[in-house]
Amino acid sequence: MADQSKRKGKKTVSRRVFQEEETMTNPSNRLLTDLFETFMKAKGLEGLRERTLEEHRTTFKYFLTFLERKHPHLKYIDDINTEVVRDYVYYMTKEKQLWDDHTEASMRFKTEKKGLSPFTVNIRLRTLKCFFKFLYDEGHISENPTKRVKLLKTEQDTIEAFSEKQIIDLLNQPDQRSYAGFRDYTLMLLFLDSGIRCNEALGLKIKDFNYDQGIIKVPASLAKNTHARILPISKKTAKSLKTLIKENSVFESQDYIFLSNYGQKIDPSWIRSRIKEYGKKADIKDIRVSPHTFRHTFSKMYILNGGDAFTLQRLLDHSTMNMVRKYIQMNSEDIKKQHHQFSPINNLFNKKK
């Protein structure tokens, strides 16, 4: 009782006085840009290709541009919540002026149209999700603000393939008497014969080609999914590649198979523009004329000619069969031909005759 009387009327403390000050100096509340550099270093150490790293950097700049325009006060990682991410998706879908973040393109393509396509929005959202998932997994943030934000619904890939006539017309366009024309002709043969990606084809070196075995080796460092693979090619394509390599002997540096007129490695955008021009000369309309369409054409013709889907999956370097399915867009005439060839009724009664 005596002890209690001594404490009576004296000041007591139940809560910490300096708790708020400690919270304010919370090390987790770091600049968004600083943590992005941490993310990039980690992804670089994981072996991501330079092209993929550059895509991450580009799409992150788009996000920063959005913050500068709509939420200039948000600079720290703790400022970004689910509401901000959803606002970003809404901005891209409904409010963003086309080409306004591309100085050169904005001058060339003047338009009042607003809103990116769902496909483009999803590309930018996926990279943002990857960034924030990394921060969450590494313990930099306690909650992932992108986890509950879903990708937009997109229409199923409807890229069509070339018809046989269109293929012949395209192959007839390059002037094979010129170096560039023969190179483009050989490149289109390779696209059609193997389904190889444009970036992979232009990165091929002489050592990746074996004429005697009739194969092209796509090294892991060149493959999109970092999986090395072997692509068999026809004798016609192999012979054309061998001739092109001989033509390249006039250049001092001839490591790469496909070179410019100056003996330099070719930029993919340049080849895309040349193939598009060949499509115009061949009067091909209502279908995209591009290296990627050659890839779709290879896929469809491979299946129609009796190839199996699992081998096609390996050749295309796809991890899932669902991706392979998207590459095989058959029209009604293709389906009719296949039905006529494999119809149980046709086969049953034809045998009896």
Residue spans of the domains in the chain: they are: 28-137, 164-344
Name 74's Cβ contacts closer than 8 Å, sequence gap at least 6: 32, 67, 80, 84
CATH fold of 164-344, please?
hpI Integrase; Chain A (1.10.443)
Task: Report helix, strand or coil for 218.
Answer: strand
For residue range 28-48, what is the model confidence (pLDDT) as tens digits?
579 999 999 999 999 999 988
More confident residue, 39 or 119: 39
Question: Contact at 8 Å (CB) between 326 and 157?
Answer: yes
d(CA 185, CA 164): 16
d(CA 73, CA 157): 39
pLDDT at position 80 is: 95
- Work out whether strand 215-218 and strand 229-232 pair parallel, antiparallel, or are unpaired: antiparallel
Q: Pick the most confident of 143-152, 250-259, 342-351.
A: 143-152
Region class of 318: left (phi > 0), else alpha (psi between -120 and 50), else beta: beta
Residue tagged 């001989």 (tokens)? 246
pLDDT at position 23 is: 41
**100-129: b or e for each residue (b if 16 or more CB lie within 10 Å)?**
eeeeeeeeeeeeeeebbebebbbbbbebbb
For residue range 131-175, what is the model confidence (pLDDT) as tens digits?
999 999 999 999 999 999 999 987 665 568 899 999 999 999 999
pLDDT at position 348 is: 57
From start to end of the chain, where are the E strands? Answer: 209-210, 215-218, 229-232
Average of per-residue pLDDT values in the chain: 83
| Token representation of residue 116 | 């990116």
Task: Report helix, strand or coil for 1.
Answer: coil
Name 286's Cβ contacts closer than 8 Å, sequence gap at least 6: none
Interior CA angle at 313 toward 218 and 53, to 5°? 55
DSSP state letter for 230: E
Number of Cβ within 10 Å of residue 265's Cβ equals: 13
| Token representation of residue 31 | 């600049």
d(CA 37, CA 52): 15
**Which helix (H) or strand (E) is 238 found in, with range?**
helix 235-247
- The stretches of 25-49 forming alpha helices (DSSP H) are 32-45
pLDDT average, residue stretch 323-328: 64
pLDDT average, residue stretch 220-225: 83
| Token representation of residue 293 | 């369409």
